[in-house]
Amino acid sequence: MLRWRLLVSTVLIPAIVGLFVWDARLGPAAPVLFVICLLAGLRCTWELVTLLRQDGVEVRFGPVASCVGLLLLATWGPHWLEPVNLRLALAVPTLAQMFAGCVLLLMVWQAFRFREPGGHLRLLGAELLAVTYAGLLLSLTAQLRWLGPNGNGYWALGSVIAATKMGDIGAYTLGRMFGRRKMAPHLSPGKTWMGAGGAVLGGVLGAVLWLRLASPLFGQDWAAHWWIGAAAYGAAMGVTGLFGDLCESLIKRDVGVKDSAALLPGFGGLLDLLDSILFAGPVAVVVWRIVLGS
């Protein structure tokens, strides 16, 4: 398992870095990242819909996927339209407004589908969960693209990916080698408190290495006093990513499956790969806004 994880990571990480550098040169429209997020959002939606159907909830892919697409358009719309017409760009609904609109659309959808009592509220709740997980969390994380010096946020976005995935590797490695005390035995029997420590250490290592080594790629200068802040940030990403892994396990265990899909060797489905990033991303947005604001 660890061998597969390291092998897949060895392929994915350089590919992601290359795409980031390429997309950064294309300007704030970020077309490459949009395509990546759209494909990832649709794939995660499909995996969630499949999981929920195994629990007897007949969620339809179309309405949920449409809402996920609308949330991504609300995230990118202003950056596409600003060079053309600033007033038009400002008229694009914010992410919060679009999410509220998606809630209303899904409620109206269920109202017109109603035939007899029973199951509709459960179905509505499942649809909202899927839109929130695959759409809202992904769109919030994508906002890191524009949170950075000179509007180049790939330095920030890359730090989340590096910290959370290194946290995943650290948790798996230390947990398998030294883990004894179970952290959540009923939810995720393989997770231990030693693994949680590994997530923190891995997060610190991933954040420090990325912020230090990737700085020249994005035209940033590394200040000597940044080590402590980078380590604290990495620890926060490692812990948050661990919570994301646990919360995705809640969905999988409740429907009785081990992986969200059979897509990537050593990881499972795309949700299994992105669960920590989707949870850590919104937290990172808050941190970077505070840092840049100060």
pLDDT at residue 63, as a whole number: 93
Q: What is the pLDDT of residue 294?
A: 54
Q: What is the pLDDT along the chain (294 residues), one digit of tens a residue?
A: 556 666 666 677 777 777 777 887 788 888 889 999 999 999 999 999 999 988 888 889 999 999 999 999 999 999 888 877 777 778 888 999 999 999 999 999 888 887 777 778 889 999 999 999 999 999 999 999 998 766 668 888 989 999 998 998 888 888 888 878 888 877 787 788 898 899 999 999 999 998 888 888 777 777 777 788 889 999 999 999 999 999 888 888 888 877 677 666 656 788 888 989 999 999 999 999 888 765
Residue ranges of domains in the chain: 2-293
Q: Assess contact for 69 and 41: CB atoms under 8 A.
A: yes
Q: What is the pLDDT of residue 76?
A: 94
The encoded tokens of residue 267 equal 């990881």
Q: Which of 22, 114, 38 is nearest to 76 (CA)?
A: 38
- pLDDT value at position 181? 86
Looking at residue 264, its pLDDT comes to 63
What is the CA 254 to chain-centroid distance, rounded? 21
So what's the pLDDT on residue 98?
95
For 40, the token pair is: 């990832």
Interior angle at CA 247, CA 245 and CA 252, nearest 5: 90
**What pTM was computed for the model?**
0.89
Both structure tokens of 7: 């092998």
Crossing angle for the helix pair 61-81 and 120-131, to the nearest 10 degrees: 30
End-to-end CA distance of the chain: 43
In sequence order, what are the beta bridge partners of 268? Answer: 264
Contact criterion met (CB below 8 Å) for 112 and 124: no
Per-residue tokens: 210: 């990325």
- What is the distance between the alpha carbons of residues 77 and 118, in angstroms, rounded to a whole number? 39
